Structure formats: C-alpha cells, structure tokens
Structure 1
C-alpha cells in the first residue's frame, strides 16, 4: 500500500499554466503611477514617495548605451515600500547595456520585469531592504559574467527565474562591503534556477554566498525552497563561502552541481532533495549541521566529508592558504537518507583529515560499490546508522551501524520513505541535537526514526519542488 498521497494544491497547479506576461495581482490603487516610456519611468522614480507603485506598461525598452534607470536617494518604509513593477509579469522587457542602478536607497521593490541587459544588476552597500521579486533573468551571454550581485543588508530575492546561461559566470552572488565582510540576512527563496550549460571545470555556479576572503564572516543568509534544474555550469550549484548560513528545503534535480560548503563555519544544511544528478552535499570547515537531506540517484558521490590543505582558516593566513580546503571539524551529520547512489558516503585524502565528526541515525541504501568510503579520520562518532542493499558496507566501524531492510516505499513524488514495520522506526539514538521535524515536515516526537523520513500516514507537507512551486508565478 502506498504510504502517502502526493498533494499539490489546486491553486499551485493552476499557476503552472499561467505564462509570463499575465497580470495576476495588479489591482488598481490610488498610489499607482502608470508610465509608458523610460523618461516617464525615471521621472516617476525621482518623485516617488513611500507606498507609491510605479507601473511600467508592457513593451520592450532599450536603455541607451551609457544610460541607466537610476534609483538614488529614494526611501520607502518596510510597511510602505516604493514598488516599481511591470504591468504584467515579464511584459516589460529591459534591453541594452544597463537597467536599474541603485544607490543610497531603502525599501525598494522591483517586480515582474524581463531582464535582457548585458551588465550586472548590483544591490550596493549603500542600500538596504531591496527586494527583487517575480522577475525573469536572462542576461546577454556576451555581457558581464555575473547577473545579480548583492552587497546590501536585508535583501530579498524571491520568485524569480534565472535561466539559459552558456558561458562562465554566476546567476546570483552575495558579497558584502570591503574585502572580508558579508551582506547580512539575505533571503533567497522560491526562485527557479535552470539551464546553466557552461561546460568548464568551475566558475558557473547558480548561487555563490561569499568568496574565500570572506569565509570567516557570518552572512546569516537563508536559501530555501528554490529549484535547480540542469545546473551544469559548475560542480557547485549552491556554493557557500562564508559562515552562519542556512540552506534548506531546496531541490536540485538532474544537475552537475550540488550543495557545497566550500569555505566558512557553522552553517546548517537541512531538508534538501538532491536527485538524479552527479553529486549531493560536500562540506569543509567547522561546526556544520547536515540534517534531514535526501540524496538519491546520484552518479558520483552523494555526501563528502572533506579533508583539508589546512586545519582551520584564520585571519593571519595568506591568500593562497585561504583558497585551500579547510578540513571538517565537529560537524554533525544526522537523519539523512542516501538512496541508490553510485557513491554514497565518502571522504578525501588531503593532508589534514576531518576530526570529531558525528555520523548518526543516517540511512544508507545502495547496490553498487561501498556505502562508506572514508579516508583518514580522527575522533569520529558512528552511531545507529542503518545500511541496506547489495553494496558493501565499506569502512564504517562495526559498532556504528546495523544492516537491515528499511522497508522503503516509493511515493508518487518519487521519494523513498519508511513503511510500517521498518526497523528504522523509533531506532534513532543521538541526543543533544534538536531535530524537531523531518524531511516532509512531520514532527519527530520523542521516538525518532533513522533517516530523513519520520514514518507517518499523513500527507507530506514538503516534497521535491517542481517548476509550479517556484518562479514568477509561484504563490
């Protein structure tokens, strides 16, 4: 019997059929300022007050070379932002060298545009509270490498579509002021990243949060509920090069890139689905929590606990040392499901081995190779992991696992979950780490199950995302 019903609300399903260019929510307001030329748009921005909504008529607008749409010294409020919006989603197409240029502005929302420009859209440090929502980004491949760069605090990037890049470069970068600090509290959610086809060895991430020189700075960014498909421009679809970030509830499907904590410390990777691509999650640095992730059908390594060319990054190291890999220390890897991957749980063999890592209550199922292939380690804790399949156990210590059939059942959404009578039910033992719910959003309760899934007969609250759940028309 199928354990769950895969539900998608009828409203969400209906949104999937709504194309760009459809006006769905622009009800008339006394604050509306309709404009139909670039000159009128600039005049309306110059005169804008909190709560104003400037609506640009549908059409194609080419910004002259050397020109821009300037938003300078304009301040909305959190309750009454200044909103600049296309009349219909994707209906106002911006071409030319440059589009919006922001400076010294707060609480500005830019919504519904189709960006076809050739230079980077930057949110500079002199701004805050900027929101990019429901836009369609497909910059000119011959233009700037980077499409959107965030340097300001409290930026929201939501419900956009970034797509179709064939050259080196990154869809979305979060940086910050100076050379070592990070923009604070960036929230990236419900976006659709697709079809980055750059074939080089690196340099084609979808999202990069920080860079090596900023690794020790906390960004407190949250990246959640985003969908990545055919993210093939780099082995890192989400590249984290700063500290203190949360990467949760995202879906990466059929992609070369995975989730990589490349630099930095103290990040949380939770409840992500990585399905049918090359690699899943790879981590370096200290004090990370990797919990409730579902990694399935990957043709290379599902989960890599990285070794280092250095033990710990520090403020006194050289630039070359900073670019190196920082060995993992004190990570907690708990309640993950690794299902039918070519390579399951893996290590590396650089000079500095990972130390004091806890691997507990994980479910590893596979039929090829070995389920655990760690390099040198020191002080690892292996506790109540459950292994199954015709793959060899590998070099997991004998006391750190049991081997038994977890009685998995594939749901309508393609996710393998526990069924009644599974030996994983109630068998988790790790204490001291708060894991209140599971991959699906079900409460863990006092008796936790091994793996990402807590057995339940209720419909899943979370599931692998589809294009109906993200992008300009998402709820």
Structure 2
C-alpha cells in the first residue's frame, strides 16, 4: 500500500498524517477504489488518455488527482459529478469530448477544491456548474476554452440558494476563445454567470479574482452578475472585441482592481442598485468604457464610480432619458486622452460629480464638474498609463462621496486602503491620489494576471534557470491576497526538487518569521499568518541544489 503525506506548514509546528492511496487506470478500478476509500484517502489516476469515464464522487473527504498533473486526459463521454463534501479534484484535462446536453463538471458538495484542470474543445452544455446547495467551493488555476457547440449555455455557472450564501471563489483561472452564432449577441455563452434573474434577490457572496479573460466572443456579457453581493477584483479583461463585464439583476456588484483593455467595452451597469466601481483601469476600449443603462426594469440606483482611470477609450455612456439611473456619484476619477472625439455622451445632468480630473472634449458633461487639466500620465515600459511625479492627481482627492458599505462575511477593500496594484493608500481621503493608482516611483502599473500566470500550472510557459527551475512567478503562487483569516496557501510547481525559503518581513525591513525552509517540488501547502492587520513583505528564494543556482522575488501580502 502506497503512503501519501499531507504537509501543513504553520508558524509553530508541522504535522504529517498518512492516508491510503489507490492507483487507478480504468472505470472499474476507479469504482472499486471509490467504494473502498474513506475520508483522507487519495485516488490517483495513472498518466494516460481515457475515454468515456464517468466519475461520480460520493465519498466525503477524499482527493482525486492525476499522478502527474496534466498527463491524465479524458475524452469521449467523460464527465464528473462531485456529490460529497471536502473533495479535492486536481490535475486533469478534459479535451475534445462530446457529452451532448450534459455538463462536464457538476458540483453538489461543499468545501470542494477544484484545481489545475483544463477543459477545452468539448461539446457539452456547461463546462462547470456549481449547484445552489454547494458552499465554499474554490475553483483555481483552471482553463476553460473553446467549447465546440454554441447554444444557450454559459461556461461556468454558479447557482444561488434562497436560504444560504454560496461563498464560492474563482481564482487564477483563464477563460479563452469562445465563439457564438452572433458574436457579442445574447447567445447565453457567458464565461461566468452567477445566479439567474429569478434568484437575483438572494445573496451569493462569491468572489471572482485574479482571472484572465480574452477572446470571449460568444455573448455580449463576459461575466453576468445576477445575484447579490459578489466581488470581481484583480482580473484582466483583454482583447474581447464584442463583450464586457455586466452587472445585471442583483444588488451590490463590487468591481475593483481590474484591467479592461483593448476591447469592446469595460463595464455595463444594466440593472439593480448599490453597485460599486472603484480602482479600475480602462484603456483601448473601442465602443465604450462604461455604460449605465436606462432600462425600465430594475432601474439603476445608488451607483458609486470612484478612483478609476479612463484613458484612450471611447466615450462613457450615461444614457439620459426615461428611466435614467438615479443617485449616481462619480468621484476622484481620471478621464483623459479620449480615442474618440468626446469623453462623455448622454449625461443625465442629475449625477453627482466630486473631485474628478478631465482632459479632452467633455461632450455632454458640464465643465464645472471637473478639474480641467492634463493629469500628466505617461506610458510605462509595460505599455500602461500611470501618473508621473508632477501629476495634479497626487494627494488631490475630494471627500463627500458615499461611504462604502460593510457586508457581513464578505471581505473587500471598503475603505479603499489599497490601489489597483495593491500599494497602500492613505486612510485620509484628501491624501489619496485621484485615479486608480497611488503614486509610487518604485511600482509599475500593470495587470496582476495574464495568459502566462493563470490556468493550470502545467500549461504555463517555463523559463530555464540551469535548465531546472521554473520561472519563479509561475513556480510559486499563493492566495488569498489580501488575506482576512490566518491561512494562506502556496502552490509550488518546479521541474525538480528545490530548496524553498519564504520569509515574512514588515515594511521596515524587519524579519518577522521564516515560514518555509524545506525542499519541495510540486504541491500545495498551507501556512498560518498570525499577525495583526497591515501590509507585509513575503521574500521568496528558490535554489536548485544540483546547480547551486537560486532566484528570488518579493511580494506584498495584505492582512485585513
């Protein structure tokens, strides 16, 4: 019997525990292993390509994984249902199968960790559906791509319960290359939809963070928000020529820290109330960077748009007329260098404008609502606009906009204490910079995620260091960040066994603790960060013990 060891690294002790591992390579051997397994056991698929495999996972507390991540490929009518709690499902590829009107993955259980999975070129309904009875499901480092059929079924669907919030997280995933019968139309091929119109009054409290969306052309909505109190943060929406993020039915869509670049649009606020749009970057958008709908159903009300940077894009469309949005506040934004002739169109005249900087022809907006000056932005080496040392945006915010609400059990930056790249902002409003960033000469404005650091680790590009160590940015990933509770998870993905050192420092450069100092290769390890709220530094060092080559990097860690 093969032994498997789970390592939990904390600041105070390490604990190892053993479990039984079942090696499987067929439908029958999987079924037998599942029947014999108990909580804590592992079912491990041997590397290979398998057809027509249905995994109906009904035993709680087990792990189902590929022996080597990425080397187990399912096709034909293969699919999976997870009907139990506390399941880890990891390392598989579903490529080129055909399951007709079934879903590739269906999750009923709670506390499911679904990670490092690639689903591509499947004929199916949804790629992944999280049922309404599920809670605390995490989907991380997965790729969802190029579904073959195009009818009215979204790609990743989170259903919402009337009796309990879901608290799901979608992290570090990539969504790519979806088409539809009418690109950008209403074909229902949204990469992510949370809720449906009939359940929009219920709370989901789900978070989509650090995900990458490109060429999502199957529908006009990249993300369709149809539930209350969901957060969309630190994502990259790039090169989507027909679609945008859309806040539909369901109050309190919270959108911050995202990059919307080189596409059709940024955000369409379609329905409902209490939406928050802050700390976002909009550039190179050809149709509109922001749109407030004036529909008669679920009329827009109480919308805050603050600390965003809109640059080199088509006008912002406020849609005046019947049923125009009410109680809209635009505060401390930068509007500059429009690609079209005007910055705004169809302004209603009933918006509240506070502390905004504008450069360019205003269009229908009133000039008295702005500081009309060049914000002195410059493109950096990555091609993104950022404020310069003499910018009038620095320390120039104006108070008076609505206070961001606190929602129970939903963690977000409601005091705007961070900027788009997680630099600290002052707590005093008038000391904050206007726009999405807080000026810092040593920081570079650029997206947190791209095609190279999202999706399964085995599909990420590698950089040879003595032909052995993967690019450190890809080799170590950690989440969540910011962290509210005490646990932070590190994913290690290296070509060989390496010596990993992770140390925690305060901003004064004082070392607080060595979190990790051990040899690792691939794996997931959890650390407990028992410190007060604040900003810390994680210093990573990875050493190839064969060649004696090492590489290092430093990342900010926010403890809320």
Task: Please give the range of the TM-score, normalised by the shorter of the 2 chains.
Answer: 0.7 to 0.9
- Residue number in structure 1 paired with 2:171: 189
Q: Deviations over 1:75-99 (max 9, x none)?
A: 21xxxxx110111222111223242
The Cα shift of 1:266 comes to: 1.2
- Residue number in structure 2 paired with 1:245: 230
CA contact (8 A) 1:175 1:182 kept: no
The Cα shift of 1:54 comes to: 1.4
Q: Deviations over 1:303-355 (max 9, x none)?
A: 11222213xxxxxxxxxxxxxxx222111110001110122x21225631111
Matched, 1:120 2:103: yes
The Cα shift of 1:253 comes to: 0.5
- Residue number in structure 2 paired with 1:359: 330
What stretches of structure 1 of length at least 5 have no aligned partner? 1-24, 77-81, 311-325
Q: TM-score, normalised to structure 2's length? A: 0.71
CA contact (8 A) 1:407 1:421 kept: yes
Instruction: Choose from 194, 207, 212 the match for 1:222.
Output: 207
Distance in 2 (alpha carbons) for counterparts of 1:461 and 1:442: 10
Distance in 1 (alpha carbons) for counterparts of 2:225 and 2:442: 34
Q: Secondary structure, in 3 states, of the residue corresponding to 1:213?
A: helix
Distance in 2 (alpha carbons) for counterparts of 1:199 and 1:430: 47
Aligned pairs for 1:322-361 (under 5 A) are 326-343=298-315, 345-349=316-320, 351-361=322-332
Cα pair distance change 1:462/1:213, threshold 3 Å: same
Distance in 1 (alpha carbons) for counterparts of 2:321 and 2:201: 21
Q: Secondary structure, in 3 states, of the residue corresponding to 2:33?
A: helix
Q: Deviations over 1:254-292 (max 9, x none)?
A: 002221101110121001001001010111311111000
Distance in 1 (alpha carbons) for counterparts of 2:323 and 2:121: 41
Instruction: Choose from 26, 29, 32 the match for 1:37.
Output: 26
Query: For structure 1, which segment, 42-51 or 332-341, has the greater mean C-alpha deviation from structure 2 after superposition?
Result: 42-51
Matched, 1:442 2:426: no
Instruction: Choose from 441, 451, 457 the match for 2:441.
Output: 457
Aligned pairs for 1:132-151 (under 5 A) are 132-141=114-123, 143-144=124-125, 146-151=126-131
Q: Deviations over 1:97-116 (max 9, x none)?
A: 2422232x100111111113
The Cα shift of 1:32 comes to: 2.7
Distance in 2 (alpha carbons) for counterparts of 1:124 and 1:160: 15
Q: Secondary structure, in 3 states, of the residue corresponding to 1:406?
A: coil
Cα pair distance change 1:280/1:194, threshold 3 Å: same
CA contact (8 A) 2:353 2:369 kept: yes
Query: Greater share of strand residues, 1 or 2?
Result: 2
Distance in 2 (alpha carbons) for counterparts of 1:349 and 1:124: 43
What stretches of structure 2 of length at least 5 have no aligned partner? 1-5, 8-16, 405-414, 458-473, 478-560
Instruction: Choose from 367, 372, 394 the match for 1:425.
Output: 394
The Cα shift of 1:229 comes to: 1.1
Cα pair distance change 1:123/1:129, threshold 3 Å: farther
- Residue number in structure 2 paired with 1:234: 219
- Residue number in structure 1 paired with 2:35: 46
Q: Secondary structure, in 3 states, of the residue corresponding to 1:330?
A: strand
Query: For structure 1, which segment, 296-305 or 422-431, has the greater mean C-alpha deviation from structure 2 after superposition?
Result: 422-431
Q: Deviations over 1:415-452 (max 9, x none)?
A: 20000110111111134442111111111113111111
Q: Secondary structure, in 3 states, of the residue corresponding to 2:29?
A: helix
Matched, 1:170 2:154: yes
Distance in 1 (alpha carbons) for counterparts of 2:164 and 2:94: 26
Matched, 1:289 2:268: no
The Cα shift of 1:463 comes to: 2.6
The Cα shift of 1:181 comes to: 6.4
CA contact (8 A) 1:309 1:350 kept: no
Which of structures 1 and 2 has the larger relative contact order (alpha carbons within 8 angstroms, sep 6+)?
Answer: 1
Matched, 1:108 2:79: no
CA contact (8 A) 1:245 1:266 kept: yes
Instruction: Choose from 113, 121, 124 the match for 1:131.
Output: 113
Instruction: Choose from 346, 349, 352 the match for 1:381.
Output: 352
Instruction: Choose from 178, 189, 203 the match for 1:204.
Output: 189
Q: TM-score, normalised to structure 1's length? A: 0.83
Distance in 2 (alpha carbons) for counterparts of 1:350 and 1:70: 53
Q: Give the number of aligned pairs.
A: 417
Q: Secondary structure, in 3 states, of the residue corresponding to 2:28?
A: helix
Distance in 2 (alpha carbons) for counterparts of 1:335 and 1:410: 19
Distance in 2 (alpha carbons) for counterparts of 1:414 and 1:31: 51
Distance in 1 (alpha carbons) for counterparts of 2:440 and 2:64: 45
- Residue number in structure 2 paired with 1:94: 74
The Cα shift of 1:300 comes to: 0.5
Matched, 1:85 2:85: no
